Amino acid sequence: MMNQRASGILLHPTSLPGKYGIGSLGKAAFNFIDFLAKAKQQFWQILPLGPTGYGDSPYQCYSAHAGNPDLIDLDLLVSNHLLTPEELAALPHFQDGPIDYDLVQKARLPLLYKAFNTFTSHASDLDKLAYRNFLKSHAAWLNDYALFRAIKEDSGNKPWYTWEKELKTRDPGALKHAESRLAEQTDFHKFLQFIFLKQWMSVKEYAKKHKVRIIGDIPLYISMDCSDAWADPQEFEFDQDLMPIRVGGVPPDYFSETGQLWGNPLFRWDVMKTNNYRWWMDRIRTSLMLYDVIRIDHFRGFAAYWAVPYGEKTAINGAWIPGPGKEFFVALKNELGDLPIIAEDLGVMTPDVEDLRDSFGLPGMKILEFAFDSSEANDYIPYNYTRNCIVYTGTHDNDTVVGWFRQASEADRRQVLDYIGKEVNDIHWSFVRLAWSSVANTAIVPMQDLLGLDSDARMNLPGTTGGNWKWRAKETDFPAELANALSALTSLYGRARKSKIKPK
């Protein structure tokens, strides 16, 4: 799927423009697909679509399967007669610019409840049938997720591992009582997932119609406070009190003297193996329904992962533990067929990680911002690329190209200019040209880099908990002139879709 020359744009749906404070799965999403098609792009890459928890990060979600209700488009709820125009008109006025998640969620919640109540009392027989089919098809994860959210809200949004013992340990009697007592709240969260999936699949189908494939994202680890950890604790390294034994992170390196302590629960790979990795199979199935291609974040964890004893303040005192390796991917391929997977292999990769990636023909990642380090040669410089890789100008974790270049050392800036061969006033466009002209099969540019935005448009600064995931595009950021310019570059470097030649 990734073995032909192609290109695309990275833009998370929350960053789409719109009048309700956050991007959604409505008109702006369809307009963006039109922009991609006009620009001859074949991929739309997004971040994880799950319901965000701590810090509004899409990499810390309440579920490995559920969708983010913040993305539900309110205008479509009006079109579906679940809300009235007057109810939408009563919303506060949202300014263009960064997302205020608290304000957005507080404003949306009453409207989503109104839509739920309207659906419950007035849905057509056809809609009721679709809803019943949805509940049946997704029961394996949906029931636990919806009850998890209902109990969590009822307990003042406390993490599940601080709930009263009977609920924390899923005592059958306590769960039955909670299901009865919180039936309405549980049904509300099931309804939100029904609406989310309906809207998202419409977007995905529109993308398919325009020959745009969607690259989705799976974090290797799940959040400690999520429905999966609560519903399937036997799959994770928990003690008898359901607290982590060891947690995830990465060891000290050039960038951090103490490493990174993420705190995510680790998998019991030996337990998972006994049931043919059922938990992961289900997770990948959901992702293959939502996306055309999957990027797995922290891919190296399948070869070996850094395990830190729970309670440590830093990641220093961890150890490398062998992961499931090739056996896992063989099982995955036997169960699900070909693997449309991108391996996030950034950083220093050991031979075992490279062997795991290459044994299954998985493309890795190259970041142009990493290429121009005057202190050392590296694999990110374009002349070192192989075809089977994805080149990015930058990622959601990087500064924008413009911001990075302005803050780079004089030696690094000079290396960039020497490589490009000229002085430039539009460094972002030069990076796009470098990516598009490279031998890499696929080239991706974040929308912020395509627009030439500065550091204020950065999506995430790793290691920080405030001010991230908030950037939004404006309605005027998708002009025909930009689409035409990218289209020309895409055609020039052989990344536009080839037309089929009709036989004479």
% of the chain surpassing 90 pLDDT: 91
* 379 classed as catalytic: no
Return all residues near 179 (Cβ < 8 A) that are at least 6 apart. 147, 186
Tell me whether strands 6-10 and 43-45 are parallel, antiparallel or unpaired: parallel
Q: How many whole angstroms separate alpha carbon 467 and alpha carbon 311?
A: 27
Our measurement of the distance from residue 315's CA atom to the centroid of its chain's CA atoms, rounded to an integer in Å, reads 25
Catalytic residue among 344, 345, 369, 449: 344
Query: Of the candidates 246, 302, 271, 207, which has an alpha carbon nearest to the alpha carbon of residue 8?
Result: 207
Spatial separation of the C-alpha atoms in residues 47 and 45, rounded to whole Å: 7
Query: Distance between CA 196 and CA 216 in Å, rounded?
Result: 16
- Strand 364-367 with 389-392, pairing: parallel
So what's the pLDDT on residue 253? 82
pLDDT at 108 over 50: yes
Report the amino acid identity of residue 7: S
Q: Which one is catalytic: 225, 297, 399, 449?
A: 297
425 contacts: CB under 8 Å, gap ≥ 6? none
Is the CB of residue 231 less than 8 Å from the CB of residue 144? Answer: yes
In this prediction, residue 499 carries a pLDDT of 43
State whether residue 241 is helix, strand or coil.
coil
Backbone angles phi, psi at 265, to 5 degrees: -65, 145
List of residues 6+ apart from 182 with CB closer than 8 A: 147, 150, 151, 154
Give the model's pLDDT for residue 466: 84
d(CA 434, CA 401): 12
3-state secondary structure 348-417: CCCHHHHHHHHHCCCCEEEEHHHCCCCCCCCCCCHHHCCCCEEEECCCCCCCCHHHHHHHCCHHHHHHHH
Q: Are 267 and 238 in contact (CB under 8 A)?
A: no
Q: In the Cβ-directed half-sphere of 482, how many Cα atoms lie within 13 Å?
A: 17
Tokens describing residue 79 = 């079109």
- Spatial separation of the C-alpha atoms in residues 453 and 449, rounded to whole Å: 6
Taking each continuous run of H as one helix and of E as one strand, the counts in the chain are: 19, 12
**Mean pLDDT of the region 33-56:** 97
> What residues are paired with 121 via a beta bridge?
none
Catalytic annotation present for 344:
yes
Q: Half-sphere exposure of 439 toward its Cβ, with a 13 Å CA cutoff? A: 9
Q: Are 496 and 40 in contact (CB under 8 A)?
A: yes
Whole-number Å distance between alpha carbons of 242 and 229: 9
* Domain 1-217+474-504 sits in CATH 1.10.10.10: no
The per-residue pLDDT for 500 is 41
Continuous H helices in 67-223: 74-79, 85-89, 101-122, 125-137, 139-154, 165-168, 172-181, 183-209
pLDDT tens digit string along 240-294? Answer: 999 999 999 999 987 789 999 999 999 999 999 999 999 999 999 999 999 999 9
Q: Tokens representing 330?
A: 């063989």
For the segment 358-379, the average pLDDT, to the nearest whole number, is 90
In the chain, the amino acid numbered 146 is: A
410 is catalytic: no
**3-class secondary structure per residue, 15-46:** HCCCCCCCCCCCHHHHHHHHHHHHCCCCEEEC
- List the catalytic residue out of 166, 232, 379, 397: 397
pLDDT per residue over 231-250, tens digit each? 999 999 999 999 999 999 99
Computed over every residue of the chain, the mean pLDDT equals 95
- The contacts of residue 275 (CB under 8 Å, 6+ apart) are none
CB 52 within 8 A of CB 497: no
Cα separation of 176 and 342, whole Å?
Answer: 41
- Euclidean distance between CA atoms 78 and 398, whole angstroms: 38
Backbone angles phi, psi at 41, to 5 degrees: -95, 140
Is the pLDDT reported for residue 436 higher than 60?
A: yes
Q: What are phi and psi of 460, to 5 degrees?
A: -150, 140
Domain boundaries, the chain: 1-217+474-504
Q: How does residue 503 score in pLDDT terms, banded at 50, 70 and 90?
A: very low
Residue 234 to residue 270: CA distance in whole angstroms: 11
- pLDDT band, very low/low/confident/very high, at 349 (cuts 50, 70, 90): confident
Question: Could you tell me how many residues make up the chain?
Answer: 504
pTM, full prediction: 0.96
Report the 10 Å Cβ neighbour count for 422: 7
Percent of the chain with pLDDT over 70: 98
